[in-house]
Amino acid sequence: MAEAGPGSGREQGNGAGQAGSAPGVADAFEELKDTGRATLRAGNDAFKAFRILFAADVSLARSAFGRTLAMTAVAIAFGGSCWLLLMAALVTWLSRGLGLPFALSLLLCAILSAAVTGWAVWKAMGYFEHTRLQATRRQLARLGIGELADFMPAAESGESSRDAAEQVDRANRGRPAKKGLGIDITPP
């Protein structure tokens, strides 16, 4: 009992003093810890969403690049082999079978081959547009990263990145925006 008497009173007094201030500080630290965990989870979720977006954008670009190569091969095939292989047969048929002059037969075949080549080049250029990683570049710009960052709304704003990019394009009348030293910025 002697041990519990005087020492116990001081410990209880100190304990009571700490108990009065400790719950407020402990609660604050607990809230801070919970907020930190929530922030970490939100950042992790945002990173995962961005990673998924980037993977989808790269997949689209890879597919578009393959299609671009395929359509380029079609353009070369029609521009070259069609000209060489079918030209002779068609010119012969036009000049002998229909009685057209030889020069007109050659001109008609050239126009047909040029039209098919032009179509294939047009398709290749359309597919090539998907290799620019547009969605990823817009999201990076919203985070303040990259050459488009000055033109995009902040990440917390509800404004569409695509709308902002279109507004910049309209303001520049279709010409590319410039960054330092007059270097063109590739639009998203």
The reply to whether 65 falls in a domain is: no
The tens digit of pLDDT for each residue in 109-141 reads 889 888 988 999 999 988 887 777 777 877 787
Compute the mean pLDDT over every residue in the chain, rounded to the nearest whole number.
Answer: 78
pLDDT of residue 177: 64
- Into how many domains does the chain fold? 1
Nearest by Cα to 148 from 172, 126, 122:
172
Please give the distance of CA 40 from its chain centroid, rounded to a whole number. 25
Banded pLDDT at 174 (limits 50, 70, 90): low
With 0.75 as the threshold, say if the pTM is over it.
no
pLDDT of residue 60: 86
Task: List all residues 6 or more positions away from 72 whose beta carbon is below 8 Å from its beta carbon.
Answer: 120, 124
In the chain, the percentage of residues whose pLDDT exceeds 90 is: 15
Tell me the average pLDDT across 28-56.
90
The reply to whether 150 falls in a domain is: yes
The reply to whether 39 falls in a domain is: no
The reply to whether 169 falls in a domain is: yes
The reply to whether 140 falls in a domain is: yes
Task: Indicate if the pLDDT at residue 17 is higher than 50.
Answer: no
Tell me the residue range of the domain where 170 lies. 134-188
Segments of 27-132 assigned E as strands: none
